[in-house]
Amino acid sequence: MLEIRRRVRPTYDDEVRRFKLYHLYQESSEAFQIMVRLIDRFAALCAERGERPLVLIFPLEHTVDLMRQYHRCVYEPLARRLDERHIPHIDFGPILAREVYVRYYLNYNGHLSAAGNDRVAREVIHYVRR
């Protein structure tokens, strides 16, 4: 009976468990630790060179669906870590969640369409000009 309820009216946690790769954003995962070390090294390298780092977070379309439906974000630990370390970043999740974002993706596979690439470019240009 519980399994039927999860399929008919899934909770946020049900949705996250169903989509296998979301475990990568758990702070305890090895993948998360590797990603954080890579980002830290990237930011340090930029600082050594006198450059400004900018990390772009591109959510899957399913992730944006969850953000709109449940007002929660599966990669929140990553975004929080970037904030804590004061690493400049653009999180496209909230940006796309406020818009009609379906046109920004190709076939629900995570890849951006030409319109999605244009939207990203406009946001990066806006960020750089600030």
Query: For residue 97, what are the domain limits?
Result: 2-129
Q: Please tell me the pTM assigned to this model.
A: 0.86
Residue 10, pLDDT > 60, answer yes
d(CA 26, CA 7): 24
Residue 1, pLDDT > 50, answer no
**Whole-number pLDDT of residue 3:** 57
Could you say which DSSP state residue 105 is in?
B
Find where tokens 């899957």 sit.
60
Give the pLDDT confidence of 15-59 residue by residue, as tens digits.
Answer: 888 877 888 899 999 999 999 999 999 999 999 999 999 999 999
**Whole-number pLDDT of residue 4:** 56
Residue 2, pLDDT > 80, answer no
Number of domains in the chain: 1
d(CA 53, CA 89): 8
